[in-house]
Structure 1
Amino acid sequence: MLSKKDVEAVIRHPERIRVYYQPVMNLTSGQPWGYEALARGEGILAKPGRLFKSAEAWGLLGELDAACFKAVLAGGLPPGGFLAVNVTATGLINLEAGVYAKSSLIIELTEYGQLDPRELAGVLERWRRDGARIAIDDVGPDIGQLKAALYLKPDFIKLDRSLVAGCDRYSSKRLFLAQALEVCRYLGAEAIAEGIEKPGELKVLRDLGIEYAQGYLLGRPQPGWKKAVMAGGG
């Protein structure tokens, strides 16, 4: 685990944060539909997973999350597309919707289980009123995540790689993906599949009717808009 001092250094110096963009593709048109912004950098920022876990342990998750969110938005929004930004429920509470919410912004909500769902629903509604849309991230085989989706009524549900990987080989994964899509239809939410790495996985997702997807097969995270667009085939 990183020291508290290391985590605080990133929070105090958000200019160290580098933003990478991974294309989210429209599987019908074959063109980039939007991008997911990812916080990266050198040193301790090279392993953001460890950084965020350390921040949570030190009680600094909300502050780090807010710093990363602001660093992403400082880079602007994509022309003619959407930008999905990861943010925890704790971090979202520390941000002002009226300042950051835009019609081309998707709040990609992670780590939402520790907050009172009624309080979280109220926070999300404020962001929606100011134009942003809401995605629930990393929905996998845990039924609790789908229950959260039923309560929070997101605009998008992101299907985790744990479901996508090997879906061309395992019928159980195809069945769960089909069930998740039924939940999406019930909610009026769009499904976005994550972590596609093999052509067989992509074929299954297309056959199931999933319209939006991302993964190394479709485009790797790149620094800057121009590289991200080229990586996504635009």
Structure 2
Amino acid sequence: MVSQWLSAPEVHFVLQPFVSLSSAQILGYELLSRPSIAGVNLPVEEFFREASEAGLAVPVDRVLIPQMVEFLDDTHPDGPVFVNLHPDSLRHPAIQSHLESRIGRIVLEVTERAEWVVGEMETFLRGWQNQGGRFALDDFGSGYSGLEKLVSVRPDYVKLDARLVRGADRDRVKQNVIEAVSQLASILSFQLVAEGVEEPGELETCIRLGVSIGQGYYFCPPRPWEERPQISAAIERVILQQHQRLRGVATPIPAIYDNWEYHAALMDDLMEAADSKARLDLICKAIYRTLKPHSVTVMTATDEGLKPWVSVGHAHRQLMSWESPSLARRAFMDGTLAIQQRMETEASESGNQGELNRLLGSPQSVAIFPVGSPPWGVIGADFLLPHAWSPERLNVLKTFARLVSLVVEREGQTSQYHRRSRAVRQPDCDDH
């Protein structure tokens, strides 16, 4: 079948959306290939399995990748586009060249199931990230080597295997595994994706356990770009209602806070500030007084990484290198809000980890916005309590982030990451 296809390749592409499990918005898409012979669609899983077993995965990808790039140039989908490749293809110079030409738009998906050349894959993926690219570890939980690969390659995204998600609302063992990976996401700063979501119970369980993103037929089947995959209003309600049940711990903004009056007074102070650092200090202190977080930090992009510039409270004061995936790096590279927080106040059955984190001063709710257009840095705040970021608090932080972009000029040289980054797209925080 594969050899016959390679002699006269035909293919069309469909897209399946990635859905934010906090805002119900489409964050990006997976680009899926649909090979055919003489106009007849081939069985997809069988086709790619045969290609891998016959040693034809690289020739197949050499045909598909240029057409994928052409498809992206013609359609311009919003958000990152995830592309699944065989690991051997990533070592091929022609394929690498096509991918690097669209490095800001493509997220590589590398499956846990495949055999990797030890060291070689890690080197390629590290170089890909150093250039500003992102990648996802696919099918996590399908094999025994997933945890080792997770630690060694430090992905930007981890996709839970669909077999782990299926029926998770009725299987406590699966719930424990998903919750454990969700906690790893907080430690290693990757976004957790549940693929294969097909039932409302599976969706609600994933939200409760802290999964960031969902994908599956419950949201939308793969569709041609002409049909514009969308999320129904009913599914949006399910996601937002589930968060309402989890949001009780989020403390309100003090009633005394008056947005217009407060910012008018702050602008008077900013006009008198001597330099950018003094203005930043005023803004950070204003955030600290208004939101009362554990800390507020502004970081600026350098060639080595994101470097703390101004901070208030018990803030992170060390350089975050570009080699290490982090929430701050994600906000900067994506040009949009990055948020991470535990969804439950009660301790998990595996132990009172949340209370231990609180006592040790480990933040459980973090939100970070890019600043500047294009971004020259990020501003973030964190809380020790789980799920402390309500939409109201996010709107306040977003407003201050925009204020930083207006009144503060970045000092010093522009880093390579600053030059490569896209223009900031500030989202409406009511949607997060």
Between 1:124-133 and 1:34-43, the stretch displaced more is: 124-133
Structure 2 letter corresponding to 1:147 = E
- Of the candidates 22, 25, 40, which is equivalent to residue 19 of structure 2? 25
Matches within 5 A, 1:72-91: 72-76=68-72, 78-91=76-89
Q: Is the 8 A contact 1:45 1:51 kept in 2?
A: no
Q: Secondary structure at the match of 2:168?
A: coil
Structure 1 letter corresponding to 2:65 = F
**How many angstroms apart in 2 are the aligned matches of 1:133 and 1:201?**
27
Are 1:214 and 2:215 matched, yes or no? yes
**How many angstroms apart in 2 are the aligned matches of 1:104 and 1:189?**
18
Between 1:203-212 and 1:78-87, the stretch displaced more is: 78-87
Percent sequence identity is 26
Structure 1 letter corresponding to 2:30 = E
Structure 1 letter corresponding to 2:26 = P
Match for residue 186 of structure 1?
187
Structure 1 letter corresponding to 2:230 = M
Q: Is the 8 A contact 2:136 2:155 kept in 1?
A: yes
Residue-by-residue CA offset, 1:144-187 (whole Å, 9 max, x unaligned): 11221111111100001111111110101100111111222222
Q: Secondary structure at the match of 2:221?
A: coil
Structure 2 letter corresponding to 1:42 = S
Residue correspondences, number: 227
Structure 2 letter corresponding to 1:53 = R
Are 1:157 and 2:158 matched, yes or no? yes
Q: Is the 8 A contact 2:113 2:142 kept in 1?
A: no
Structure 2 letter corresponding to 1:61 = A
Are 1:59 and 2:59 matched, yes or no? no
**How many angstroms apart in 1 are the aligned matches of 2:180 and 2:141?**
11
Q: Secondary structure at the match of 2:85?
A: strand
Q: Is the 8 A contact 1:88 1:112 kept in 2?
A: no
Matches within 5 A, 1:197-212: 197-212=198-213
**Which structure: larger Rg?**
2
How far did 1:93 drift?
Answer: 1.3
**How many angstroms apart in 1 are the aligned matches of 2:145 and 2:56?**
26
Residues 1:23 and 1:125: Cα distance change in structure 2 (over 3 Å): same
How far did 1:125 drift?
Answer: 2.2
Unaligned segments of structure 2, at least 5 residues = 237-432
Residues 1:131 and 1:9: Cα distance change in structure 2 (over 3 Å): farther
Residues 1:5 and 1:141: Cα distance change in structure 2 (over 3 Å): closer
Q: Secondary structure at the match of 1:131?
A: coil
**How many angstroms apart in 2 are the aligned matches of 1:101 and 1:232?**
30
Residue-by-residue CA offset, 1:102-148 (whole Å, 9 max, x unaligned): 22211011266422231001111232233320100011253311221
Are 1:228 and 2:224 matched, yes or no? no
Q: Is the 8 A contact 1:82 1:105 kept in 2?
A: yes
The TM-score with structure 2 as length reference comes to 0.49
Matches within 5 A, 1:72-151: 72-76=68-72, 78-94=76-92, 95-97=95-97, 99-110=100-111, 113-151=114-152
Match for residue 35 of structure 1?
29
**How many angstroms apart in 1 are the aligned matches of 2:49 and 2:200?**
33
How far did 1:7 drift?
Answer: 4.3
Q: Secondary structure at the match of 2:132?
A: coil
The TM-score with structure 1 as length reference comes to 0.87
Unaligned segments of structure 1, at least 5 residues = none
Q: Secondary structure at the match of 1:117?
A: coil
Residues 1:185 and 1:149: Cα distance change in structure 2 (over 3 Å): same
Q: Secondary structure at the match of 1:51?
A: helix
How far did 1:232 drift?
Answer: 6.7
Structure 1 letter corresponding to 2:48 = F
Residue-by-residue CA offset, 1:60-80 (whole Å, 9 max, x unaligned): 111212322222221116443
Q: Secondary structure at the match of 2:217?
A: coil
Q: Is the 8 A contact 2:69 2:102 kept in 1?
A: no
**How many angstroms apart in 2 are the aligned matches of 1:196 and 1:167?**
10
Q: Is the 8 A contact 1:196 1:216 kept in 2?
A: yes
**How many angstroms apart in 1 are the aligned matches of 2:142 and 2:174?**
9
Residue-by-residue CA offset, 1:6-40 (whole Å, 9 max, x unaligned): 14325xx3xx1111000000111111000000000
**How many angstroms apart in 2 are the aligned matches of 1:172 and 1:142?**
16
Q: Secondary structure at the match of 2:169?
A: coil
Q: Secondary structure at the match of 1:222?
A: coil
